[in-house]
Amino acid sequence: MIKTLPDHLNAEIVLGTIQTVSEAVEWLSYTFLYVRMLKNPNLYGISDKAAKEDPTLKHRRMDLAHTAACMLERSHLIRYDRRSGALQSTPLGRIASQYYISHSSMAMYSRHLRPNMADIDLLRLFSMSGEFTHITVREEEKLELSKL
């Protein structure tokens, strides 16, 4: 879940269930990730000393929430006010949540998408998305695709 935490956090921000980083920290305490981190902290990079000093792993959850929020902000999916901890969704964030698009794909679209792109360029851009990495080409389609 750590890899996809920014995408899950974005969905919660869009829904309005999380509006601050402190709410994100609290939300993390209800996840399976938190249960697993408590059961096996070493697997998640938490030393035995740190686990003893912080038995609820609040500092680790704060770090995870802050890091995920920063990633979403860099991808232009949320606005993150570090002083107040406020998290606010952007139109790109709502699109990503609505259509299950990862924050990394949305960042790539944001960087490379231009108003006057040709259709083939749009297809190339979208095909670079991580969402398409597991799509395989059928044997009967290879000839047709080679013509393109």
Interval 99-144: pLDDT, tens:
999 999 999 998 998 999 999 999 889 888 888 888 887 888 888 8
> What values do phi and psi take at 86, rounded to 5?
-70, 140
Task: Give dist(CA 47, CA 73) in Å, integer.
Answer: 29
Task: Give dist(CA 63, CA 71) in Å, integer.
Answer: 12
pLDDT of 148 > 80? The answer is: no
Task: Give dist(CA 106, CA 100) in Å, integer.
Answer: 10
What pTM was estimated for this model as a whole? Answer: 0.84
- Token pair, residue 78, equals 């949320």
Residue 31 amino acid letter: T
